[in-house]
Amino acid sequence: MDPTFQHLYDILANQQGYIFPNEIELQWGILIVIYPFITGLVAGAFILASLERVFNVKILKATYQLALLTALAFLIVAPMPLISHLSQPQRAYEIMITPHSSSAMAIFGFVYLWYLMVVLLLEIWFDYRHSFVVWSNEKKGVMKWVYRILTLGISDISPRVLKWDKKLGYIITIIGIPSAFILHGYVGFIFGSIKANPWWSTPLMPIIFLFSAMVSGIALVMLVYMVISYIRKQNIDINVLNTIGRYLFFVLLLDFTLEGLDQIQRIYEAEESFQILKLLVSGKLYLTLFVSQGLVGTLIPMITLVFLQFTKHKFKFQKAIYFIICILVLIGVYSMRWNVVIGGQLFSKSFAGFTGFKLNLIGLDGTLMAIFWMVIPFAILAFLLWLLPPWKMVKEGE
**CA torsion angle for 248, 254, 257, 262 (degrees, to 10)?**
-120
Interaction between residue 132 and another protein (CB under 8 A): no
Among residues 152, 270, 303, 359, the one that binds another protein under rule CB under 8 A:
152
Closest separation in Å from C-beta 312 to another protein? 46
Q: What span, in angstroms and rounded, lies between the C-alpha atoms of 112 and 117?
A: 8
Long-range contact list for 275-282, CB < 8 A, 24+ apart? 275/351, 276/347, 276/348, 276/351, 276/352, 277/198, 277/199, 277/347, 279/347, 279/354, 280/199, 280/343, 280/346, 280/347, 280/354
The answer to whether 22 contacts another protein (rule: CB under 8 A) is yes
Q: What is the residue type of 342?
A: I
Contact window for another protein (CB under 8 A) among 49-57, 97-105, 302-310, 312-320: 97-105
Indicate the residue among 103 and 234 with the shorter CB distance to another protein.
103
CB of 79 to another protein, least distance (A): 12
Smallest gap from residue 100 Cβ to another protein (A)? 5
Q: Which of 222, 200, 213 is nearest to 277 (CA)?
A: 200
The site for another protein, by CB under 8 A, has a size of 62
Judged by CB under 8 A, the stretch of 147-155, 217-225, 256-264, 285-293 that binds another protein is 147-155
95 binds another protein (CB under 8 A): yes
Of 16-24, 221-229, 304-312, 367-375, the window that binds another protein (rule: CB under 8 A) is: 16-24
Using CB under 8 A, which residues numbered 309 to 348 contact another protein? 345, 348
- Residues 38-77 as x/- pattern, contact with another protein by CB under 8 A: ----------------------------------------
Q: What one-character-per-residue DSSP string does 282-306 give? A: HTTTHIIIIIIIIIIIIIHHHHHHH
Closest CA to 22 of 32, 34, 11, 33: 11
Interface stretch with another protein, choices 191-199, 234-242, 254-262, 385-393 (CB under 8 A): 191-199
Q: Does 159 bind another protein (CB under 8 A)?
A: no
Q: CB of 381 within 8 A of CB of 223?
A: no
Our finding on whether 6 is near another protein (CB under 8 A) is no
d(CA 329, CA 266): 25
In angstroms, the Cα distances linking 136 to 133, 154, 156, 387 are 5, 11, 12, 12
d(CA 335, CA 33): 9
Question: Using the rule CB under 8 A, is 383 a contact of another protein?
Answer: no
- How far apart are CB 197 and another protein at their closest, in Å? 7
Q: Which of 96, 264, 267, 291 binds another protein (CB under 8 A)?
A: 96
What does the longest C-alpha to C-alpha distance in the chain come to?
75
- Residue 162 CB, nearest distance to another protein (Å)? 10
The 10 Å Cβ neighbour count of residue 118 is 14
CB of residue 96 to another protein, shortest distance in Å: 7
Using the rule CB under 8 A, is 296 a contact of another protein? no
- Asked if 111 interacts with another protein (CB under 8 A), we say no
Q: Which of 3, 45, 4, 31 is nearest to 330 (CA)?
A: 45
Q: Which residues, numbered 160-189, are part of the site for another protein (CB under 8 A)?
A: 160-161, 164-165, 168
CB of 371 to another protein, least distance (A): 22
Q: Which of 15, 16, 25, 144: binder of another protein (CB under 8 A)?
A: 25
Rg (CA), the chain: 23
Beta-strand runs (E) in 151-218: none
Q: Which residues of the shown chain bind another protein in the complex (CB under 8 A)?
A: 2, 4-5, 8, 12, 18-25, 27-28, 85-89, 91-106, 108, 117, 122, 126, 129, 152-154, 156, 160-161, 164-165, 168, 190, 193-197, 345, 348-352
